[in-house]
Structure 1
């Protein structure tokens, strides 16, 4: 099969775009770090037992990412994407001030 210069350029551009998209998706699915600016703003902790009760008076024992409506995982998942953190992975035992109990 013979490629024209134009076909070659289109195929090359398409491949490059798909590789960049895959890399961006992989970067978004990384873990949320407590040091991330958004995580700090929301008081995210990877371990809910370490939440500052004085600063986050709305926190109640038993609240965790795993039973929050924004947690996108299944029961038993150790980590899963969270809609609050743009699909990044949160710890099921974690907590942040955006917590809303699953219905």
Structure 2
């Protein structure tokens, strides 16, 4: 009987180990994907400052950018690289950083169509 209890303990330990190892492998597989997620452009970034980028088109300085119109948003710009429903996406002007759909910069160009 002593042997049976030891066998059960080993099976449970082995099962626990395999379960934990599988869970750990899943975490390891997911972490690099999260690390690849693009950073958001900040309004204080060098590119943002040079383009007058704002996360919200309503916050653009009308005196500094007189051609700006609140209907101009990153999501309806020709350089927007995301879907219309994406809150953040890539832009040809910002490299690997994502910009806000409701944002604006002076490189804004009407999306064709």
Q: Normalization by structure 1: what TM-score?
A: 0.72
Question: SS at 1:95's partner residue?
Answer: coil
Q: Name which structure has the greater RCO, CA cutoff 8 Å, separation 6+.
A: 1
* Deviating 4+ runs (over 3 angstroms): none
Selected match of 1:26 from 36, 58, 67? 36
1:61 Cα deviation after fit:
2.1
Instruction: Find 2:63's aligned residue among 38, 54, 63.
Output: 54
State the match for 1:87 in structure 2: 96
Unaligned segments of structure 1, at least 5 residues = 1-21
Among candidates 54, 57, 67, match of residue 45 of structure 1: 54
In structure 2, stretches of 5+ residues that fail to align are: 1-31
Deviations 1:8-49 (A, max 9, x none): xxxxxxxxxxxxxx79x837x211000101100110000100
Give the number of aligned pairs.
80
Q: TM-score, normalised by structure 2?
A: 0.66
